[in-house]
Structure 1
Amino acid sequence: MRDYPEYFTAEGELEEALSRPTSELVKMMTMLDGDIIILGVAGKMGVSLARMAKRAIEEAKVKKRVIGVSRFTSTEHQLFLEKSGIETIKGDLLDIGFVMGLPKVKNVFFLAGTKFGTDGNEPFTWAMNSHMPGLIVEKFKDSRIVAFSTGCVYPLTAINSGGSKESDRPEPIGEYAQSCLGRERLFEYGSLKNKTPITIIRLNYAVEMRYGVLVDIATKIHRDEPIDVTMGYVNVIWQGDANDMILRSILFCSSPALFLNISGPEQISVAFVAKTIGTLLGKKVKLKGTEADSALLTNVSRCEELLGTTKVKLDKIISWTANWVGNDKRLLGKATHFEVRDGKY
């Protein structure tokens, strides 16, 4: 494993780890032609992904621009990216005029979308997750595109099934997941219509110390709140590993679009994780509910064939998370709602 600290004590240290490029990514940058643009760069993953791309380019000693596009409702992210050598463009990706005025760039990473608060805000959800991709896939029809989606487009599957594969039929539950399938269909359509090479990433669930499934569990334990184990099993992946795999997936863009599940290889028990974190925090864990015989699970065999396995293992992520939460470090304050089974986020 790369030389990570035993525990993270500050956000700067964490940001460095999340954006540290692998040797495989550095090598890829020596072969990849064209600049990189990241749409929706100010979200949970975009900042560290953009910085990882920039650092890999610098280590590869090649000349390549990295451009980040966002509404930048907070100037903090914009300034941080610019200090890291990343060009920024501020604007609304729902504005067709703004989108069509963006520079033509060979390599596009589409991270924009919405999930939180989508229940009761369905029109905006569909505009963000389905209409916007239609604008993007037309604007960048001559580029390669890696587009974020979600494993939520799959149905709940039996816990002994091994998880959903890319070839399985999507059966999204609820309007958020339905709108994400709409996103995929728009990118698929553009790929077929314009022969645009595209990879569609179905991600479940990226985690780091300030956000994610493990933080949700650890926070409740730290506050002496019960853990709902009805959704008994999940997949998680260290966000640094996810960033690396997502960036390298641009090599596999194709027309028709390639679908790629990205997550950790382990199907993890929520109860097991809760008890482990409880032990690390010195807390008695309260469980509620009964494990269902199905869950939202992802099969990552195709990803492992193309990109290899994760570098950071589950026990290390759990240990880091318990230490961060137990020491009351800053969190992003956005629950993943991994427990949701009816699709209402």
Structure 2
Amino acid sequence: MNQDVIRDVEDLENRLSTPTEGVLETMARLEGDLIVLGVAGKMGPTLARMARRAADVVGGGRRVIGVARFTDAASEERLQAHGVETIRCDLLDEDGLSRLPDAPNVVYMAGRKFGTTGQEAVTWALNAYLPGPVCRRFRDSRIAAFSTGNVYGLVPVASPSRESDAPAPAGEYAMSCLGRERMFEHFSRTLSIPSALIRLNYATEMRYGVLVDIAQKVRDGLPIDLSVGSFNVIWQGDANANALQTFDHLATPPWLINVTGPEILNVRETAETFGRLFGRSVAFTGAETEQALLSDSGQAFRLFGRPQISADQMIRWIADWLARGGPTLGKPTHFEASDGKF
């Protein structure tokens, strides 16, 4: 396989869902079925496929089930084609939630970020209320729940956030995500649910992510906002692998884990790199500050190893993908927002 070019969506999704040795080892130890709640987002389909592929390798007849509303029928069909069972369910419908099959292992990916401004109540319902009914429904299960590095707030570039740092969320989205964490903590303690909270910073692939946002603007001759001048990213396949391996570390109260890449990338330098790759000049707006949304993933590196794909590799892949007219999801990260409004 040519590692220098990602040919098409099929090639991309195959790479994003290839299980690592660590995932295979975790899945070999894991007993029983796995259900992914909120599977239809940007990351869920390849995480579910990775779990399915790992389960097929290690054996044991395990079911991997993906649950979502599936407003995009094609997304559901693609999962089914790769052996992931699917169930259509609005998780806020408690009758529907109650009818979901039992599963001893739960990956919780439901949530809302973009469109929060003006729709704050919906965001709080999905991010902070829903974990309560889910925990009651799956009180006899083990839960790995996605959270976000946004709960830390902006920090000095020289001091990325660690799991031991106190949260300082800015804006309703980040506050609702801290609410999600607190609900999982409450039910983990009161119902003795082994859990993990996965504080993810900017999973990235060819079709979305901070690097794609910057690359598209450079390619299209649009100015780059420097209001938030630094960021972390992690290849989505590496993030998938880290998330599945958290099942080896669940605890009561929940175990906290930062998941992102090792590099602290500078927005100006990254844009200039894309400028060289596209042969375009780059314009900038705003002034760089000394604070950004950054996390230290040293704990994840010690336990799971460093990411297999570097930021430099992602940059080269994305430039090539966009230059060839590869599809994108049209879902910007708004990483440059410093006020927490999404």
TM-score (norm 2): 0.98
Amino acid in the other structure paired with 2:241? D
Which of these residues, 75, 78, 98, is aligned with residue 77 of structure 1? 75
Which residue is equivalent to 2:232?
235
Which residue is equivalent to 1:19?
17
> How far did 1:325 drift?
1.3
Is structure 2 residue 204 aligned with structure 1 residue 224? no
* Whole-angstrom CA distance in 2 between matches of 1:29 and 1:146: 14
Is structure 2 residue 115 aligned with structure 1 residue 123? no
Counterparts of 1:157-236 in structure 2, within 5 Å, are 157-161=155-159, 163-236=160-233
Which runs of 5 or more structure 1 residues have no equivalent in the other structure?
A: none
Conserved? CA contact 1:4–1:17, under 8 Å: no
Alignment size in residue pairs: 342
Tell me the SS of whatever aligns to 2:216.
helix
Tell me the SS of whatever aligns to 2:66.
strand
Which residue is equivalent to 2:309?
312
> How far did 1:254 drift?
0.3
> How far did 1:102 drift?
1.0
Which residue is equivalent to 1:90?
88
> How far did 1:62 drift?
2.8
* Whole-angstrom CA distance in 2 between matches of 1:132 and 1:6: 42
* Whole-angstrom CA distance in 2 between matches of 1:62 and 1:34: 8
Is structure 2 residue 328 aligned with structure 1 residue 331? yes
* Whole-angstrom CA distance in 2 between matches of 1:79 and 1:155: 38
Which residue is equivalent to 1:248?
245
* Whole-angstrom CA distance in 2 between matches of 1:205 and 1:12: 22
* Whole-angstrom CA distance in 2 between matches of 1:259 and 1:307: 14
> How far did 1:306 drift?
1.9
Which of these residues, 56, 59, 73, is aligned with residue 57 of structure 2? 59
> How far did 1:4 drift?
5.6
Structure 1 residue runs of 4 or more that deviate by more than 2 Å after TM superposition: none
1:236-277 CA-to-partner distances (Å, cap 9, x unmatched) read: 000000000101111111001111100001111111111111
Conserved? CA contact 1:213–1:236, under 8 Å: yes
* Whole-angstrom CA distance in 2 between matches of 1:235 and 1:4: 26
> How far did 1:192 drift?
0.3
Which runs of 5 or more structure 2 residues have no equivalent in the other structure?
A: none
1:152-204 CA-to-partner distances (Å, cap 9, x unmatched) read: 0112111111x011111111100011100110000000000011000000000
Tell me the SS of whatever aligns to 2:130.
helix
Amino acid in the other structure paired with 1:325? L
Amino acid in the other structure paired with 1:307? F
Which of these residues, 152, 155, 165, is aligned with residue 153 of structure 2? 155
Paired-residue identity, %? 47
TM-score (norm 1): 0.97
Which residue is equivalent to 1:278?
275
* Whole-angstrom CA distance in 1 between matches of 2:288 and 2:27: 44
Tell me the SS of whatever aligns to 2:175.
helix
> How far did 1:61 drift?
2.8
Conserved? CA contact 1:29–1:62, under 8 Å: no
Conserved? CA contact 2:26–2:244, under 8 Å: no
Which of these residues, 130, 133, 149, is aligned with residue 131 of structure 2? 133
Structure 1 vs Structure 2 CA RMSD? 0.9
Amino acid in the other structure paired with 1:219? Q
* Whole-angstrom CA distance in 2 between matches of 1:259 and 1:141: 19
1:120-174 CA-to-partner distances (Å, cap 9, x unmatched) read: 001101001011111111111111100011100112111111x011111111100
Conserved? CA contact 1:109–1:146, under 8 Å: yes
Tell me the SS of whatever aligns to 1:117.
coil
Conserved? CA contact 2:227–2:337, under 8 Å: no
Which of these residues, 250, 264, 268, is aligned with residue 267 of structure 1? 264
Tell me the SS of whatever aligns to 2:143.
strand
Which of these residues, 8, 31, 35, is aligned with residue 37 of structure 1? 35
* Whole-angstrom CA distance in 2 between matches of 1:201 and 1:28: 16
